[in-house]
Amino acid sequence: MTPPVTGRRRLRPLTTAVAGVVGTAAVTVALVATGTLSVAQGRVGQGARQLGDPDYGVCRGTDARCYHDWGNFDTAKGYKVLLYTRTAGPRHANLGPALAPGMNPPLTETNTVQKALLTMGADNGFQVDYTEDVSQLASPATLFKYNAVVFYSTSRDTLDDAAQTSLRQYIRGGGGFVGVHNAFGTEYNWPWYEGLLGNANFYDHGANQPGTVETVNRKDVSTKNLPSRWEFSDEWYNLVPAPTKVRVLAEVDESTLAKGVAGNYHHPGHGDNHPVAWCQYYDGGRAWLTTLGHDAKDFTTDGSFPGAAEFQKLLLGGIESAMGKAPFCK
């Protein structure tokens, strides 16, 4: 028998399965911690329960055998990322005004995300193309020119049928995907995409406020240079469903959120298990995800915005690992 747990135990996002009641027998609750596949012991945080664990019919999780190394990427030619920021609904201010059609159209001073990732790529040895033109995603042959595709605060139905098919074929052929912030508010009615996010979707969020991020896995390239706890401000997304079969990398400590975690649609938060970054293999490809990234100040470099440097390290590591430039999901 597992000994009782003392003190505060950090649990990973989990699924609650309720066994049937036989006669007067008590209900047994089995809790599976998805980050390490260990069984939770004795307690659960006071957050939302039973948020769903559907089967997407693909190989997914932390087992590298789910990855398809089919020779679609020649790294001798260097590394290249496609940044996609099209919005078909709410648009975050850090994206700036909508972009003109085509690839790499002119940017304004307020297209903060696009400019920041261009700088990140230039400083770290990979090329970044950017677009909000869905026709640029219409062919798998086009996507296979990129080692990873980054969806940064896209929203709603941002892909048409051709782009959906193309993205799925790209991932199945070993492509890398990075989903940032409102990538979780995208393609709500496409189950395959929900699975790509780790069996997760944006439901609501509370106040945009400071909080403490806990780095719960420091082996991954995206987190190995981060402190165990660091301050940051964000909207702290609440998720339905919540991620399963993933490796959780970072969580927010809900007790540090002075304005509370309950969302505008009354999600009660995730209690002791509120993930903000994770990774998984999915349907042949690699997927690295974070709900962080709301504010344009996330990309400041002068130390004026707490956690900006840590967020940039997190994101850079996620991009580099998703595209195969660094080890993935360790």
Cα separation, 280 vs 168, in Å, equals: 16
pLDDT of residue 43: 30
Pairing, β 275-282 against β 285-290: antiparallel
pLDDT of residue 181: 98
Cα separation, 201 vs 56, in Å, equals: 14
Structure tokens at 229: 């706890």
Mean pLDDT in consecutive groups of 10 residues from the start of the chain, 330 residues:
39 38 34 31 60 91 98 95 98 98 98 98 98 98 98 98 98 98 98 98 97 97 98 98 97 98 96 97 98 98 97 98 98
pLDDT of residue 53: 82
pLDDT of residue 41: 26
Q: Which CATH superfamily is domain 60-322 in?
A: Class I glutamine amidotransferase (GATase) domain (3.40.50.880)
pLDDT of residue 12: 42
Structure tokens at 199: 């069996």
Q: Where are the strands (E) in the chain, listed by range?
A: 14-18, 29-33, 60-61, 80-84, 127-131, 148-152, 176-180, 202-205, 209-215, 229-234, 237-239, 247-253, 275-282, 285-290
pLDDT of residue 50: 85
pTM exceeds cut of 0.85: yes
pLDDT of residue 45: 58
Domain ranges of the chain: 60-322
Which of 136, 92, 133, 137 lies closest to 112 in space, CA to CA?
92
Cα separation, 25 vs 21, in Å, equals: 6
